């Protein structure tokens, strides 16, 4: 039987991705090679860029 997937707002998905980065930052803080602040910020920027690109793609799809 097929499962109906409820679509979630991109802002929620983006927030979850940022939380995952935060959790990884915390996990790595206790390891042998913690992230530098620059590495952490690079990951945050990548998350924002990924969702910005997806929003642009959605806008193009809606316009056509």
pLDDT of residue 7: 80
> Residue 53 is encoded by which pair of tokens?
């690109």
Mean pLDDT of the chain: 92
Dist. CA 39–CA 17, nearest whole Å: 16
Count of alpha carbons within 13 Å of 15, Cβ hemisphere only? 5
What's the whole-number mean pLDDT along residues 48-63? 95
pLDDT of residue 8: 84
Which residues, at least 6 apart from 29, have a Cβ–Cβ distance to it below 8 Å?
35
The model carries a pTM of 0.82
pLDDT, tens digit (0-9, with 9 covering 90-100), for 14-39: 999 999 999 999 999 999 999 999 99
Dist. CA 32–CA 11, nearest whole Å: 33
């Amino acid at each position: 039987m097929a499962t109906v997937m409820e679509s979630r707002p991109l802002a929620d998905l983006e927030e979850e991705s940022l939380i995952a980065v935060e959790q990884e930052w915390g996990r790595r803080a206790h390891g042998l090679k913690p992230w530098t602040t620059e590495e952490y910020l690079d990951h945050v920027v990548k998350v924002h860029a990924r969702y910005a690109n997806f929003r642009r793609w959605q806008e193009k799809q809606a316009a056509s």
